[in-house]
RNA sequence: UGGGGUGUCGCCAAGUCGGUAAGGCACAAGGUUUUGAUCCUUGCAUGCGCAGGUUCGAGUCCUGCCACCCCAGCCA
């Protein structure tokens, strides 16, 4: 993945920016910003916005600021700021400057005074309930507040006293004086300041009035020289307000707000409220639970920044509602990992195999490629001995020709080793197979027999040398593709099998598995070390994604036919 | 029933001045293969929400419908 391929494919925002640059608008500069509210963890939907903002600026030689939209101290905290910086950096982006909306509180206050002086803002002393009622409805115009005609001086004095802490929470608010009959509800004298006697994580007790989003955002953008202010469709109705404020203030930089649709991904939820609820109600194991669509969760699951960036590129940017299939995300991960994940063998659901004609006590140190197509990844040593484990799913007492694995009386290739034949099975008193007794063909190491065709290859580990391991096998967190659309509460749709722990073995070389390396356990999927789950003496791996599996499709089809 | 949006293959999505429907995912078929992986090849929208109209020609222009999404926080 290089700079060229990382470029965003054509989309309507790129078209707008291209035209602006050509026309010399904003002197041909491109400045964007990513403005999260620090009230949760960043998720894959944010990644879409991050890639867009940073990507567009990069493609046009511009820059991007990270700005925390910290205007509501009730919901925000510094810990979330930390995690967001970690996640953005991990994703691979660098901001030019880190700002907080709270850096502008003093300026914002002064701008508000300006608006009061222009008779474009007033202190309203109605209750929240009265304001709500007087706002009207979608089809009914609103009515003017009885306080709408206060004199400029009275407003000035009241606003100053609000700042000075003379009033309790909710006693007054500052509102813009626009038009209570506007068909656009956002223009019906929106509130821009409210009283909150709370400590702010950045400004401490310096303020007891806090500006609101609509007022703060456009001014912050302008102050930072942002040229293109990209946000989601939810703010389309707010654009007239964004422009109104900047025009009334006669700001010399007037960014263009452009809206795009947010990402909807199958089998998950994306709203911060719901993610927060899942975490706080312990329905998952924290913000970095590998089943969550948070960047922290995806990272722990084994997703790479490259895969996520590629995903954001592939899903595109439009204004239409989208419902992206999970397969798209998984495909991006597989594509990234295929070329760079070292291979290894792991048996998730072991059954013992004894190779009767292999000398007891003998151990062969087989030299095995770490990647089938990339010699530069080198080789490793894999011990082979008389007792090994294979996966239960790789053996059947009887099967038709389509089954290409080990069948009683049949042969199969042990990956990177010999061809074996299953001679008989040993069962426990309950009837379960506990051992498969085989014989091996010593002539088949590194070459195929000439007389017959070996159709299958299965993986294995040496029983004596293998390391016990736990495998977190994940399924989607929800049982339905779009939990948000269900009439049921999304918490009732949690998939009980979203995390299943398998107990098995990994080959000895994984004893020094790196925690930041994704491995492909051949025929099983891509895995990475999970250093948060406690496995005691055992290694713990997370399955990031399975390998593409055409066999299970064929098998499923046959099952269905029966 | 106010305002703002969106409708191109199962999903995502490209479609400059109207010129005769990119690509990816998924799926299907075949080839290679000591991963039923990868890789390679091939297939996959006479049609772009619907109905009219303009035009030699319309996904692209016009008109009228229809469907879906968003907005009534002192949240962002």
Q: What Å value separates CA A368 and C1' B71?
A: 62
Region A309-332 average pLDDT: 98
Q: What Å value separates CA A359 and C1' B43?
A: 53
How far are the Cα atoms of A308, A341, A395, A544 from residue A524, in angstroms, in the given order? 22, 13, 15, 11
Cα A52 to Cα A232: distance, rounded to the nearest angstrom: 12
Q: What Å value separates CA A550 and C1' B29?
A: 14
Q: What Å value separates CA A226 and C1' B3?
A: 28
pLDDT tens digit sequence for A102-114:
999 999 999 999 9
CATH fold of the domain at A12-96+218-334:
Rossmann fold (3.40.50)
Q: What Å value separates CA A56 and C1' B58?
A: 32
Structure tokens at A13: 């925002």
DSSP secondary structure letter of residue A265 = B
Active site residue A37: yes
For residue A5, name the pLDDT band (cuts at 50, 70, 90): low
Q: Which of A532, A531, A533, A535 shows the shortest CA–CA distance to A505?
A: A535
Q: What Å value separates CA A454 and C1' B47?
A: 48
pLDDT tens digit sequence for A458-495:
999 999 999 999 999 999 999 999 999 988 999 999 99
Per-domain boundaries in chain A: 12-96+218-334, 105-213, 343-561
Residue nearest to nucleotide B10 (CA to C1'): A325
pLDDT tens digit sequence for A29-73:
999 999 999 999 999 999 999 999 999 999 999 999 999 999 999
**From A29, A33, A188, A272, active-site residue:** A272
| Domain covering A105-213 in this structure, CATH number | 3.90.800.10
Chain A 18..57 CB hits on strand B (< 7 A): 35, 37
Phi and psi at residue A412, to the nearest 5°: -150, 155
Closest nucleotide relative to residue A330's CA, C1' based: B25
> What's the CA angle centered on A220, arms A219 and A222, to 5 degrees?
65
Closest nucleotide relative to residue A171's CA, C1' based: B74
A345 CB contact with strand B at below 7 Å: no
Region A324-345 average pLDDT: 98
Residue A528 three-state SS: strand
Cα A494 to Cα A481: distance, rounded to the nearest angstrom: 11
Residue with tokens 């099998």: A497
pLDDT tens digit sequence for A225-259:
999 999 999 999 999 999 999 999 999 999 999 99
A276 CB contact with strand B at below 7 Å: no
**From A75, A161, A196, A262, active-site residue:** A262
Phi and psi at residue A416, to the nearest 5°: 65, 10
pTM exceeds cut of 0.90: yes
- In A476-530, alpha helices (H): none
What ipTM, to 2 d.p.? 0.97
Q: If you average pLDDT over every residue of chain A, what do you get? A: 96
Q: What pairs with residue A121 in β-bridges? A: A176
Active site residue A259: no
Active site residue A272: yes
Phi and psi at residue A425, to the nearest 5°: -125, 155
Percentage of chain A exceeding pLDDT 90: 94
**From A6, A7, A18, A37, active-site residue:** A37
Strand-by-strand arrangement of the A209-211 sheet: A121-124, A173-176, A191-195, A209-211
User: Would you state the pLDDT for residue A440?
Assistant: 98
Cα A118 to Cα A549: distance, rounded to the nearest angstrom: 67
Nucleotides of B under 7 A from a protein CB: 1-8, 10-15, 22-28, 34-39, 68-76
- Assigned architecture for domain A343-561: Beta Barrel (2.40)
């Amino acid at each position: 993945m290089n700079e060229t391929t990382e470029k965003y494919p054509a989309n309507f925002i790129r078209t707008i920016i291209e035209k602006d640059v050509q026309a010399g608008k904003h002197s041909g500069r491109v400045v964007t910003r990513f403005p999260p509210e620090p009230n949760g963890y960043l998720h894959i939907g944010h990644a879409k916005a991050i890639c867009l903002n940073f990507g567009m600026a990069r493609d046009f030689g511009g820059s991007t600021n990270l700005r925390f939209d910290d205007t509501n101290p009730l919901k925000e905290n510094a810990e979330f700021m930390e995690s967001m910086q970690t996640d953005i950096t991990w994703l691979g982006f660098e901001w030019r400057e880190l700002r907080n909306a709270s850096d502008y509180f003093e300026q914002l206050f002064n701008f508000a005074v300006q608006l009061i002086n222009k008779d474009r803002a007033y202190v309203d002393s109605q209750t929240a309930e009265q304001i709500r009622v007087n706002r009207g409805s979608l089809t009914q115009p609103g009515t003017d507040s009885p306080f709408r005609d206060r004199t400029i001086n009275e407003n000035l004095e009241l606003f100053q006293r609000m700042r000075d802490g003379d009033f309790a929470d909710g006693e007054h608010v500052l509102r813009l004086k626009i038009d209570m009959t506007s068909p656009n509800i956002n223009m019906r004298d929106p509130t821009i300041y409210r009283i909150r006697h709370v400590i702010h994580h950045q400004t401490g007790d310096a303020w007891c009035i806090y500006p609101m989003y609509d007022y703060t955002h456009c001014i912050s953008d302008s102050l930072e020289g942002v040229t293109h202010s990209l946000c989601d469709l939810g703010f389309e109705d707010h654009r007239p307000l964004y422009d109104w404020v900047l025009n009334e203030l006669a700001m010399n930089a007037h960014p263009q707000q452009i809206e795009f649709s947010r990402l909807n991904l199958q089998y998950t939820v994306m709203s911060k409220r719901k993610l927060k609820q899942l975490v706080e109600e312990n329905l998952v194991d924290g913000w970095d639970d590998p089943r969550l669509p948070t960047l922290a969760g995806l990272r722990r699951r084994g997703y790479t920044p490259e895969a996520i960036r590629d995903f954001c590129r592939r899903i595109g940017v439009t204004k239409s509602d989208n419902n992206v299939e999970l397969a798209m995300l998984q495909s991006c991960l597989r594509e990234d990992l295929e070329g760079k994940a070292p291979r290894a063998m792991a048996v998730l659901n072991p059954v013992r195999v004894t190779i009767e004609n292999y000398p007891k006590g003998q151990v062969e140190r087989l030299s095995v490629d770490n990647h089938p197509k990339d010699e530069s990844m080198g080789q490793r040593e894999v011990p082979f001995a008389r007792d090994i484990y294979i996966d239960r799913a790789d053996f059947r007492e009887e099967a038709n020709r389509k089954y290409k694995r080990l069948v009683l009386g049949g042969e199969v290739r042990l990956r990177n080793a010999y061809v074996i034949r299953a001679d008989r099975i040993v069962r426990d008193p309950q009837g379960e197979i506990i051992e498969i007794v085989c014989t091996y063909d010593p002539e088949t190491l590194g070459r195929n027999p000439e007389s017959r065709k070996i159709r299958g290859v299965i993986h294995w580990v040496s029983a004596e040398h293998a390391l016990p391991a736990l495998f977190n096998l994940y399924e989607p967190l929800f049982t339905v593709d779009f939990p948000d659309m269900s009439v049921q509460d999304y918490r009732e749709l949690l998939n009980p099998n979203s995390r299943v722990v398998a107990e098995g073995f990994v080959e000895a070389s994984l004893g020094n598995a790196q925690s930041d390396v994704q491995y492909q356990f051949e025929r099983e999927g891509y895995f990475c070390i999970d250093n948060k789950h406690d496995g005691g003496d055992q290694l713990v791996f997370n399955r990031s994604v399975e390998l593409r599996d055409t066999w299970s499709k064929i098998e499923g089809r046959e099952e269905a036919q029966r």
